[in-house]
Structure 1
Amino acid sequence: MSADPAQSRPFWETKTLAEMTAGEWESLCDGCGKCCMSKLIDEDTEEIHYTTVACRLFDAASCRCSDYENRQARVPDCVRLTPDNVGRLVWLPSTCAYRLIDEGKPLFDWHPLVSGDPMSVHEAGVSVFGRITAREQDMAHDGEYLDHLVDGEL
């Protein structure tokens, strides 16, 4: 009797986002911090422009939310990722594990679940670690965000 090959594969290769446990879901976050950066969307073209302006709750040292449990109460426009909305959030970076799994693609080798190292995302240069140029609470008016645009995706 042979072993079931699906049992030897990691959960992200065998489950859909909707099938994951809460712990599995949370572990998909690689800690890149890209979703915590302000994005500008052109109302005419719907083009997304990425910035290096961090959310007021973003902890630049850890590349994580400083108040994850209460983030939506404290930042009303914070988007909570769910299996239902991941495929519709066009601003999720192409490297995002939630997006990759939703699209049926593999995780990158630098993803902490693959590498086994939580620092691998930073060592690969994929995170926003060291790239924050401003905080949203410091932006006096929307025009200031233009000073913090990046070419392409973060």
Structure 2
Amino acid sequence: MDPKPFWKAKTLDQMNAAEWESLCDGCGRCCLNKLEDWDTGEIAWTNIACRLLDGHSCRCKDYDNRQATVPDCIGLTPDQVDTITWLPPTCGYRLVREGRDLYWWHPLVSGDPETVHQAGVSVRGRTVSEEGMLVDDFEDYLVEWPGEEA
């Protein structure tokens, strides 16, 4: 009898650091700039990537130092998973918090970090860098990402 995988057996608070980090599917969507309507709280997604996002791997180029380099970078914690409204519906952290299972393409399920890209869920090849861009121009880069309707 196979034991339950850790993401089905533990809460986010119970996970060790390695388990927590492995819940990231590598889609890169949390590293995109978002616009929030101050009145409604509605989030509008852009395809404008943080200057530290590697557009091919969809991972941070300097993960350990990201918050020093990008002061508004949010270091996700278990408590924040409930309060951050812009986590994609496909996000492993969000799915586990909601008691749902990970998708087939999540690397923990598939065993392959490429499946998130093959499934078309990641931002690979679909972003522009924020470097040199004016915030006033962000509205010109609004997009819809897979799974938003989930």
Taking structure 2 as the reference length, the TM-score comes to 0.93
Pairing of 1:90-129 with structure 2 (within 5 A): 90-129=85-124
CA–CA distance in structure 2, aligned partners of residues 13 and 146 of structure 1: 39
Partner-residue secondary structure (3-state), 2:7 = helix
Per-residue deviation, 1:45: 1.4
Output one character per residue of 1:54-84: Cα deviation in whole Å (capped at 9) or x when no partner.
0011111210000000000110100011011
Per-residue deviation, 1:143: 2.0
**Deviating 4+ runs (over 4 angstroms):** none
Tell me which residue corresponds to 2:129. 135
Tell me which residue corresponds to 2:137. 144
Pairing of 1:37-52 with structure 2 (within 5 A): 37-52=32-47
CA–CA distance in structure 1, aligned partners of residues 136 and 60 of structure 2: 25
Partner-residue secondary structure (3-state), 2:143 = coil
User: How many residues end up aligned between the 2 structures?
Assistant: 147
> 2:60 corresponds to which letter in structure 1?
C
> 1:144 corresponds to which letter in structure 2?
D
CA RMSD for the aligned pairs? 1.5
- Between structure 1 and structure 2, the one with the greater Rg is 1
Tell me which residue corresponds to 1:13. 8
Partner-residue secondary structure (3-state), 2:122 = coil
Tell me which residue corresponds to 1:89. 84
Per-residue deviation, 1:44: 1.4
Question: Percent sequence identity over matched residues?
Answer: 59
The answer as to 2:58 corresponding to 1:63 is yes
Give unmatched runs, 5+ long, in structure 2.
Answer: none
> 1:147 corresponds to which letter in structure 2?
D
CA–CA distance in structure 1, aligned partners of residues 112 and 130 of structure 2: 30
Taking structure 1 as the reference length, the TM-score comes to 0.91
CA–CA distance in structure 1, aligned partners of residues 9 and 65 of structure 2: 31
Per-residue deviation, 1:135: 1.4
Give unmatched runs, 5+ long, in structure 1.
Answer: none
